[in-house]
Amino acid sequence: MPGPRVAVAALLALLVPAAASSPGAAGCQVPPGDRFDCGPERLLSRAGCEARGCCYAPAGTETGPGPPWCFFPRGYRSYRAENLTATTSGFTAGLRRVAASFLPGDVGCLRLDVAMETPARLRFTLRDPARQRYEVPLATPRASGRAASTLYGVQVNQDPFGLVVYRQRNGQVLLNTTVAPLFFADQFLQISTSLPSHFISGLGEHLTPLVLDTAWTRVTLWNRDMAPAPQANLYGSHPFYLGMEDSGSAHGVFLLNSNAMDVLLQPSPALTWRTTGGILDFYVFLGPDPKSVVRQYLDVVGFPFMPPYWGLGFHLCRWGYSSTDITRQVVVNMTAARFPLDVQWNDLDYMDAKRDFTFNKKSFKDYPEMVRDFHRRGLRYIMIVDPGISSSGPPGTYKPYDEGLKRGVFIRNATGQPLIGKVWPGPTAFPDFTNPETHEWWHDMVKDFHDQVPFDGMWIDMNEPSNFVEGSQDGCPNNSLEQPPYVPGVFGGRLQAGTICASSQQYLSSHYNLHSLYGLTEAIASHDALLRVRGKRPFVISRSTFAGHGRYAGHWTGDVGSDWEQLYYSVPEVLLFNLFGVPLVGADICGFMGDTSEELCVRWTQLGAFYPFMRNHNDHGARPQEPYAFSPAAQAAMRNALRLRYSLLPFLYTLFHRAHSAGETVARPLFLEFPKDPNTWAVDRQLMWGGGLLITPVLEAGKTKVSGYFPAGTWYSLAGDSTIHSKGQWILLQAPLDTINVHVRAGHILPLQEPAFSTAESRKKGMALVVALTPDGFARGDLFWDDGESWQTFEKGDYTEILFLATHDAVLSQLLRASAHLDGVLLEAVTVLGITSPPRQVLANGALVGDFSYRSDTQASAHPAMGRGQRQGGAAGQQLGRDPGLSQGAGGVWPQRWHSTRFVGTKERKGLPSMGWVAALGLEQD
């Protein structure tokens, strides 16, 4: 903590003196793109506008996107900053309103707290010092003091109040809230800021490209059961954005607020946050690169959970598998058609009268035995669970409702009784997952059902929460929570549209404040219940989400239509949720609503093989879309895509470990890896896995070629049939219906595994490495491996981690941590891409390898394993010399012949240096 004199000097430097007197007529000379709306809650006439002290200048349409007709003059006064004082973490100031507001419930005095929490993270809050207001009950890190040095600087404008946050290095302004007045009323809070560029991404969940449009776009956050459509608030709320700057640096901003809100973007460029309650609680992340921004955001909301290995396999579901016989037959058909399958699902069909924690004793009479049969096959099983609990049965006939009533777990209406809405089973009550007792009740219900049906994970749907009547069966009261002075642009026009009454009461606060947290709180309860009941890593997939959701569950993108537009939009959706810290995400493959087509389903399966969460799910009454439902040619293409995914699972699992342990993304947009290349910033028809794999899917009908952007560098086709040396350019790729283009970035080593029909089998198969050399002969990669399902293996140290390094004509492996989990798994092949001349000889651990191949057209060298006499640790080669093709399995990745080389397990590592190189493959070139 600096001494008093230093602190005072620093505060004086922070403070920008009050502006001169009122701007007068000159203050209305504001370019259209810089105008901020002075009539947010209603249209104003000229007289009404000028009565607020604002400027009136009609331009374009009054109600459509475009500049507001009534706008604030420059220097419009609202609050004045006073009594700037140093604190242990930063500084504080009082704000006093100096001009009357036109809003009801205006708060005249505010407290500003600025905390310099870390060198790259700044937090500032605006609160009412006289009254405790609702704050989001999300546990966030607490800084113990002020960061000694920071990437940011802060200035406070005194009158009108505003904050300016800038980069110390180059003076780039990241936030400037002086551009428009601050408003802080009981149910209307607004703050605006300039943006350093037009590139802004985030603010989910919406059907949107990766880059948001700053041309007068309104983004509404209020969780809603809404089939994905443009300009509509969808299932989740993530008030976080990432912005790129012209220099290639990146920053992020997170508003920790769960109330209904609008975020308005305008061309200047600028952004306005407009929320209906709570406080203003902002985090600013300085990066300076976009990967760091995401990690800094996840430092606040939580790193993602580690999914079980089986959760990365292929999942299959349909609303309409109406009996155990039909569900069993689906699994039989998948096996007969030789498709991988890890998890079979059921939709509502299994329930008795669509009630949670029941099953139909006729059509699903052998339901528990079916699930046990799946387990014997090495499969897992997941079923849907909705939050709405049927309330219409006679007392004593339905335990979840009877127990819930007794234990007081349901959301209450204005009279203190359980609020009754209507969902699939008819009249329903809604559990209040902010109540600790509800978590215990939920656990008990999950345990009771699991004792009957040993399911492996939970699919939690309808948890916005969705309601088929508006508010409740009895309507909603007439009060300010139901009819606030400002209603954001929610679909339906009212907060209670499609959900429950905003004024209903929960344990922590009103639903008005907590609504968008409903899915998150249910996900936490479900995650915790599964952990307690099964004792293994939980697997939860949820429709509704909020910031921090990825700590507990994954997400699927809801009721997408079976059309090409939705296929495209699934790419930015998956990328955005990775930025939000929810890497386990995917869309319903082939689409959910409506009939798919064979071509669409093939292309969607190819793309879906690269969703972190891969599930084919279909609506009842629609055309069948299981992989086996199509022509032999289509089946072959889908089978190849699935085998390719299963081949890459060790790499994917390692990426999830990096997400869980270090706050990284799994699927990521190109700009995350190449922020200095502005051409990558808006690319959202391609995606990367980690930093090493680039996927270029076909997203349009009838296309057999696809254009993809390749940042500067060398890119090798994973199929082994081409190499691209890019200067940073768009390249047209051949993409027949049986092909998805996948390229390995030079400098990366990917661990692969021979595919099988389930992860239970594939985890026992041989492994291989694909080594993609840079021009100077370097590459690196790693492998994380554990038992695939135990809780907190990383935290407990019960895992194996191996670093792979290619340098100086050798491929080396270093055992960073050993466990028994890799015992019996063989490293059987290595393919090295980018060897410029044929190797004269190949050595594995010093022994000559006679059987290796080299392709001069792609500069690929493939090496079979040394069979015996290898030093502990095992290194090997893989025979990949044949002309690869999809007919050979996973895109030509796997050889026809297998060898026996072993990874080191705990029993074999005696005498090995703890950090020594334990395997080596050497290449000698002429």
Q: Which two tokens stand for residue 330?
A: 């689906």
Of 670, 693, 877, 690, the C-alpha closest to 767 is: 877
Contact yes or no for 306/660 (Cβ under 8 A): yes
Catalytic residue among 461, 482, 522, 559: 461
Helix axes 632-647, 649-662, angle to 10 degrees: 50
Tell me the CA end-to-end span of the chain in Å, nearest whole number.
63
Residue 605: φ, ψ to 5°: -65, -40
Contact yes or no for 925/843 (Cβ under 8 A): no
Of 284, 345, 293, 357, the C-alpha closest to 318 is: 345
Q: Which residues pair with 218 in a beta bridge?
A: 264
HSE at residue 366, side-chain half, CA atoms within 13 A, is 10
In the residue annotation, 464 being an active-site residue is answered as yes
Q: Which residues pair with 373 in a beta bridge?
A: none
Q: Which residues neighbour 12 within 8 Å (Cβ) at sequence distance 6 or greater?
A: none
Helix axes 436-452, 399-407, angle to 10 degrees: 160
Contact yes or no for 831/861 (Cβ under 8 A): yes
Helix (H) or strand (E) holding 922: strand 917-925
Alpha carbons 349 and 353: distance in angstroms, whole number: 9
Strand-by-strand arrangement of the 687-689 sheet: 667-668, 687-689, 693-696, 741-745, 713-717, 723-726
Residue ranges of alpha helices (H) inside 251-362 are 290-301, 324-336
Of 706, 733, 754, the C-alpha closest to 603 is: 706
- The identity of residue 624, as a single letter, is P
Of 506, 516, 519, 421, the C-alpha closest to 461 is: 519
Of 645, 661, 719, 656, the C-alpha closest to 690 is: 656
Contact yes or no for 515/499 (Cβ under 8 A): yes
Contact yes or no for 242/673 (Cβ under 8 A): no
Helix axes 598-608, 564-579, angle to 10 degrees: 10
Q: Is 275 left (phi over 0), alpha (psi -120 to 50) or beta?
A: beta
Alpha carbons 117 and 121: distance in angstroms, whole number: 6
> In this structure, is the dihedral angle defined by the CA atoms of residues 596, 602, 607 and 610, taken in order, positive or negative?
positive
In the residue annotation, 461 being an active-site residue is answered as yes
Measured CA angle at 773 (ends 772, 779), to 5 deg: 85
Around Cβ 777, how many Cβ atoms within 10 Å? 17
Contact yes or no for 82/88 (Cβ under 8 A): no
DSSP 49-114: HHHTT-EE---S-SSSSS--SEEPPTT---EEEEEEEE-SSEEEEEEEE-S--SSTTB-SEEEEEE
Catalytic residue among 37, 464, 482, 738: 464
Outline where DSSP puts E strands in 119-226: 121-127, 152-157, 162-167, 173-176, 183-185, 188-194, 200-204, 217-221
Q: Which residues pair with 690 in a beta bridge?
A: none
Alpha carbons 413 and 415: distance in angstroms, whole number: 5
User: What residues act catalytically?
Assistant: 461, 464
